[in-house]
Amino acid sequence: MPIPSTPADAAALLGVGLTADRDTIRDRYRRLARIYHPDANPDDDAAGVRMLELNAAVDLLLGADTPTLDDVITPDQHGRAMTTRERRRDARIRSALQHLPYGVYVIGTVTPEGTPNAMVADWVMQVSFRPRILCISFERDAASLRNLRETRQLTVNLLPESGMDLAARFLQPSDPSKIEGRSADFAAPDKMRGVPHQQLPHADLEAGAPVLEDSLAWVAAEAQQFVPIGEHILALCRVFDGDTVPIDEGPLTSLYTGWHYGG
């Protein structure tokens, strides 16, 4: 299911009635968080997407009354069950880290055959001036990372605030099996279909990575190095092109969406 955008979608995702009381919603959220939180699923790279969906759903239904995860039982980094005191400290750390603002970026890649693909990433930043280097963090089994390893080219598309629905389109993995319980009905093998875009020229391919026409700004870069970090892979990419679009809007960030990928 995509990130919910209406109370009805949120209620369906949580498995509660649209008129459910607040205690029922909070209890259901906590139960699902215990099952699907990334800390409880260290080997499941899709757990972050599930928590994005759950967080968005409970935010829609409860707003300021959204529960914390203080009572979600999670293992530590060594797989040992945490004590109550450790869980509370871990929840404080997670909450603090979730206050770090991130952009909502659409990362465009291309297969060796020239087929475009895109995904949403939060952990993107410039790390050098000369040369201009971007650092992008990928889940290890991301299709976009596989494309990048093969073709070395990507685009980073920064969306305007009005682009929340467009961003949500790219949150679903191409392979539905990455999310437990998902059937083939949730597959998103061609996330670019119907999305206005242009593909950059590429010396060795029929077409390069895609640039979204509705982006606020974009840059194109070539992967120079891949660095394993924890459960992610950092791609260090040298920027070779970019532009901005005259749109009278601010950029779409986690401060605006309320989506959390961190903590």
State the Cα torsion 55-59-62-67 to the nearest 10°: 40
Same domain for 159 and 235? yes
In a 13 Å sphere around the CA of 13, the CA atoms on its Cβ side amount to 26
Rg over alpha carbons for the chain, rounded to the nearest Å, is 19
In the chain, the number of structural domains is 2
Same domain, 182 and 87: no
pLDDT (0 to 100) of residue 63:
67
Is there a domain that residue 263 lies in?
A: no
Do residues 202 and 245 share a domain? yes
Nearest to 220 by CA among 235, 202, 198, 239: 239
Let me know if residue 1 belongs to a domain. no
Nearest in space to 240 (alpha carbons), one of 156, 146, 123, 136: 156
**Residues 84 and 201 occupy one common structural domain:** no
- Whether 162 and 238 map to the same domain: the answer is yes
Q: Say what the pLDDT of residue 209 is.
A: 95
Distance from first CA to last CA of the chain, Å, rounded?
Answer: 23
Could you give the angle at the alpha carbon of 83 between the alpha carbons of 80 and 87, nearest 5°?
Answer: 95
Are residues 162 and 251 both part of a single domain? yes
Q: What is the DSSP letter of 227?
A: E
Enclosing domain of residue 50: 7-97
CATH no. for residue 48?
1.10.287.110
pLDDT of residue 129: 95
Residues 109 and 157 in one domain: yes
Across the 263 residues of the chain, what is the mean pLDDT of every consecutive 10-residue run? 77 85 84 76 71 81 57 50 75 83 92 92 94 95 94 95 87 57 49 90 85 95 93 94 88 80 76
For residue 122, what is the domain's CATH number?
2.30.110.10
What pLDDT shows up at residue 180? 42
